[in-house]
Homo-oligomer: A and B are copies of this chain.
Amino acid sequence: MCSSELEEPLTYFLQSDLAAKGIEVRRRSDFDDVLTANILAQDANEIPDDMELTAYFAIGIEISDIISQIKAKLLELKNYGFKTDNVEFKVIQVCDKMWQNQWEKFYHRVDFSRSLAIVPEWECPKPLNPHQIVIKMNPKQAFGTGTHITTQLMLMVMERVLLSEMSVLDVGTGSGILSIVASKFGASNVCATDISDDAIASAKKNLALNDIDNVELKQANLLTGVKGKYDLILANMLAEILYQLIPHLSDHLARNGSVIMSGIDCEQLSRIEKLLSENGFTVNLKIQEKRWFCILVSQKSN
């Protein structure tokens, strides 16, 4: 159990640094509608006070070691201003089957907007209206399920920007969600990179699930080995990694191209803006939800 503002940084840390095999997040607010619809009492008892974040690790891993690393990360986040006082830990050994059941019970369709829905593989992919595009996801293995704020803000800006047949570069693709949406939104071709084996495997599965054939997956650290220039670069990652990315953006951005960056904590926005300006970029649009910013960036025109 922990405060919901910890969701993004902890999810990222658990997957990237501690190699968690899967992450499940349940927020009190996710159940508001369900609660009013008279769900079974035993399920109601399972609903968290604020947020419950479950990370799944392989059998045989040293769990006390994992917990002490999480505690050190929480201390670091506390210094950034996050509320970390009310975090409780619980360790349970589960079989594969139980994990799958838990997952399917609490991960549901996100009707992200009139024009886009993200639906788990095991639910009905019927659109809300004739204009809605439905993306199917099996998000178990990697970051980016469409339920995270940073991903949602990214999608909002993509809906506005992806008007024509653009070439798209998706840095740190995770589950592949942004590449799949870009392709469905009419991108001519997409290059998606991720450093993690699990992400590449998961993205591959999700691309197939959506019959996408114009996304090239590349196992790489950020832009290493990426060739060519793109009309749109997507970077949904924590600010610490955006710092490393920014100096290399112009090598891969086509003339009049745009960059959408998400995953920026409010405390880090001014440093990101300064770095962007030093590298010849200007911020055209900012969206904020809770502590998180997503920005639309282009090259300065002079």
Interface residues of A (CB under 8 A from B): 111-115, 128-129, 131, 133, 156, 159-160, 162-164, 185-186, 284-289
A–B complex contacts, Cβ < 8 Å, 17 sampled = A112-B160, A113-B163, A114-B115, A114-B159, A115-B115, A115-B131, A115-B159, A128-B163, A128-B164, A129-B186, A131-B131, A131-B133, A156-B160, A159-B159, A284-B289, A286-B289, A287-B288
Whole-angstrom CA separation of A9 from B202 in the bound complex:
50
Residues of B close to A114: CB separation below 8 A: 115, 159-160, 162-163, 185-186
Q: What is the distance, in angstroms, from A35's C-beta to the closest C-beta of chain B?
A: 13
Q: A113-B160, A129-B186, A286-B288 are in contact. List 5 more A-B contacts (CB 8 A).
A: A114-B115, A114-B185, A115-B131, A284-B289, A286-B286
Q: Say yes or no: A159 contacts B113, CB within 8 Å.
A: yes
Q: What is the distance, in angstroms, from A208's C-beta to the closest C-beta of chain B?
A: 23
Whole-angstrom CA separation of A115 from B115 in the bound complex:
7
Residues of B close to A287: CB separation below 8 A: 285-288
Whole-angstrom CA separation of A112 from B161 in the bound complex:
9
Q: What is the distance, in angstroms, from A141's C-beta to the closest C-beta of chain B?
A: 28
Closest residue of chain B to A133 (Cβ to Cβ) is B131
- Taking A162-B114, A163-B111 as contacts, is the C-beta distance between A285 and B284 under 8 angstroms? no
Residues of B close to A113: CB separation below 8 A: 159-160, 163
Whole-angstrom CA separation of A288 from B294 in the bound complex:
11
Whole-angstrom CA separation of A185 from B114 in the bound complex:
8
Closest residue of chain B to A163 (Cβ to Cβ) is B111
Closest residue of chain B to A112 (Cβ to Cβ) is B160
Residues of B close to A288: CB separation below 8 A: 285-288
Residues of B close to A115: CB separation below 8 A: 114-115, 131, 159
Residues of B close to A185: CB separation below 8 A: 114
Find A156's partner among B111, B156, B163, B186 (CB 8 Å cutoff): B156
Q: What is the distance, in angstroms, from A162's C-beta to the closest C-beta of chain B?
A: 6
Residues of B close to A286: CB separation below 8 A: 286-289
Whole-angstrom CA separation of A286 from B289 in the bound complex:
7
Closest residue of chain B to A130 (Cβ to Cβ) is B131
Q: What is the distance, in angstroms, from A257's C-beta to the closest C-beta of chain B?
A: 15
Whole-angstrom CA separation of A238 from B205 in the bound complex:
49
Whole-angstrom CA separation of A111 from B160 in the bound complex:
9
Q: What is the distance, in angstroms, from A50's C-beta to the closest C-beta of chain B?
A: 13
Residues of B close to A112: CB separation below 8 A: 160
Whole-angstrom CA separation of A285 from B115 in the bound complex:
19
Residues of B close to A156: CB separation below 8 A: 156, 159-160
Whole-angstrom CA separation of A215 from B195 in the bound complex:
52
Interface centre among A133, A185, A284, A285, by most chain B C-beta atoms within 10 angstroms, is A285
Q: What is the distance, in angstroms, from A74's C-beta to the closest C-beta of chain B?
A: 26
